[in-house]
Amino acid sequence: MIQEKAFSQLTSIDQFAKEDFFHFFAKALEVKKEKTSSGLEGKILASCFFEPSTRTRLSFESAMLRLGGSVIGFSDEKVTSGKKGESLQDTIKTVSLYADIIVLRHPLDGASTLAAASTTTPVINAGDGTGEHPTQTLTDLFTLYETRSSLEDLHIGIVGDLFYGRTCHSLAIALSHFQARLYFVAPSGLQMPTSICDLLKKRGIKFSFHETMEEVAPKWDVLYMTRLQKERGAQLNEHPYFLLKKSDLTHMKPSVSILHPFPRAGELDLALDASRQALYFQQMDNGLVVRKTLLLSMLEDRS
């Protein structure tokens, strides 16, 4: 039996210590082998998405159904009483009466923390504003764990809109446990927030800022591409956004792993999809595995 920390809520990836990641990934490998399970029969997941989502919402809902549970919820804020002025706290308190676990995506930073403080029902952060997206990071790292011999001491380029990109924030925090060397490549004005950089400095993690991929791409073991977060007000001004082409692979290590949390919006050439370096569809597939594992971990022993 794998011993792991039991989380009653998951609002930040920083709740995971280094050993917690390995315990979680070991369990995820077991879950991936099992394929089917009725471990959550009789449990209900509330899927509360105040923002659009494809992969996160559907993989959570699919995970719960495949584990024998049921799903209620919404994918449009317009159909909730929030449009009538109801507070997030009251919405969460209400939903917690009808479900065993709540998956929340919300446009406001810190929404998941506020929600978790409003109920004893487990809350999972599925993305809160420009804050974090911890379950995406679990998916990202699990994919690397599966495909590389080690997570230690990797040189990782995180490219794109790093200021508004919550997946990048959670990933950088998590990588601080594995002594990664980080290369932040972003247009001017869209670099990694100071709060994340200060945390990395405190933990002794080396990182540097760049405005082009070409200057550092040959050093990378992993490339994490992201899109421009236009819905959060990201603007490019005079700076072009990044486009990764298949021809760019000739300037990188043959063993480089390319990840992307999706959706993509023009920053990944479709010709890359068939390359062995492109792991983003495996990443998507692992999203289901990771979310099944998380639901089991948080609910299996909860009466």
Residues 187-228 pLDDT 10s: 888 999 999 999 999 999 999 999 999 999 999 999 999 998
Of 132, 109, 1, 147, give the one whose Cα is nearest residue 56. 132
Tell me the mean pLDDT in the region 72-76: 94
Q: Against a cut of 0.85, is the pTM above it? A: yes
Tokens 């990840």: give the residue.
259
**How far is it, in rounded angstroms, from Cα 71 to Cα 78?**
19
pLDDT given for residue 196 in this prediction: 98
Q: Cα angle at 301 between 44 and 295, to 5 degrees?
A: 45
pLDDT: which is higher, 238 or 220: 220
Which residues are known catalytic residues?
55-56, 84, 105, 133
Gyration radius of the chain over CA positions: 19
Q: Per-residue confidence at 37, pLDDT binned at 50, 70, 90?
A: confident
pLDDT given for residue 7 in this prediction: 78
Q: Which two tokens stand for residue 37?
A: 């399970």
Q: Cα angle at 42 between 101 and 98, to 5 degrees?
A: 45
Q: Are the C-beta atoms of residues 293 and 28 closer than 8 Å to each other?
A: yes
Q: Per-residue confidence at 241, pLDDT binned at 50, 70, 90?
A: confident
Q: What rounded mean pLDDT belongs to the chain?
A: 93
**Residue 85 CB coordination number (10 Å):** 7
Res 2 pLDDT > 50 = no
Res 116 pLDDT > 60 = yes
**How far is it, in rounded angstroms, from Cα 138 to Cα 6?**
15
Tell me the mean pLDDT in the region 89-110: 97
pLDDT in tens, 169-190: 999 999 999 999 999 999 888 9
The percent of residues above 90 in pLDDT, for the chain, comes to 83
pLDDT given for residue 1 in this prediction: 34
**How far is it, in rounded angstroms, from Cα 69 to Cα 241?**
42
Using DSSP, state whether 173 is helix, strand or coil: helix
Write the burial class of residue 4 (CB in 10 Å: 0-12 exposed, 13-18 middle, 19+ buried).
middle
The percent of residues above 70 in pLDDT, for the chain, comes to 94
Q: Per-residue confidence at 3, pLDDT binned at 50, 70, 90?
A: very low
Tell me the mean pLDDT in the region 19-25: 97
Backbone angles phi, psi at 286, to 5 degrees: -70, -20
Q: Are the C-beta atoms of residues 31 and 74 closer than 8 Å to each other?
A: no
pLDDT given for residue 38 in this prediction: 83
Using DSSP, state whether 147 is helix, strand or coil: helix
